[in-house]
């Protein structure tokens, strides 16, 4: 009886380990996601949880929160091709931040993404550009 219970426990443990490994391999690659996010408008819209609350500066350079719906959302281009800024991607296990910093410009923005159900979504952004 002890042998049967031991064998069942080992089998359950092996299946649990295999399921965890399968989950890890199904995680969307951030770089592949970002490429498609930049190229496909419909894909980008599907990966933004609306309404989205962002932070930006008002005319007095005070930080304010702005809620964007799908109707007043503008499609983002988050690549650094031909732009006057440096872009840095900080990738963590369940989050990613794209930092854009101007080169002799007032660009200063962070775009924050989160991993949810193994897919990347734009969570918010903070634009303190002047």
Strand ranges inside 47-107, DSSP E: 52-57, 63-68, 85-91, 95-102
Decide: 56 and 66 in contact? Cβ < 8 Å: yes
pLDDT above 60 (res 11): no
Kindly report the backbone phi and psi dihedral angles of residue 117, in degrees, each rounded to the nearest multiple of 5, phi listed first.
55, 40
CB atoms within 10 A of CB 37: 25
Q: Greater confidence, 13 or 94?
A: 94
Domains of the chain: 30-127 (3.10.450.410)
Instruction: Quick: pLDDT tens for 100-127.
Output: 999 888 999 999 999 999 999 999 999 9
Nearest alpha carbon to residue 52 among 126, 120, 111, 123: 123
Decide: 51 and 67 in contact? Cβ < 8 Å: yes
Which tokens belong to 52?
């989205």
pTM of this structure? 0.78
Mean pLDDT, residues 45-68: 96
């Amino acid at each position: 009886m002890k042998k049967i219970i031991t064998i069942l426990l080992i089998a359950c443990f092996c299946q649990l380990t295999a399921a965890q490994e399968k989950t890890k391999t199904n995680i969307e690659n951030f770089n592949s996601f970002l490429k498609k996010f930049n190229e496909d408008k419909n894909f980008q819209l599907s990966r933004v949880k609306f309404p989205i609350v962002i932070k930006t500066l008002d005319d007095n350079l005070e930080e304010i929160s702005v809620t964007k719906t799908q109707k007043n959302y503008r499609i983002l281009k988050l690549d650094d091709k031909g732009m006057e800024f440096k872009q840095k991607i900080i990738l963590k296990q369940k989050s990613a931040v794209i930092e854009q910093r101007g080169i002799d410009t007032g660009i200063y923005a962070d775009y924050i993404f989160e991993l949810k159900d193994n897919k990347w979504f734009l969570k918010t952004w903070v634009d303190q550009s002047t």
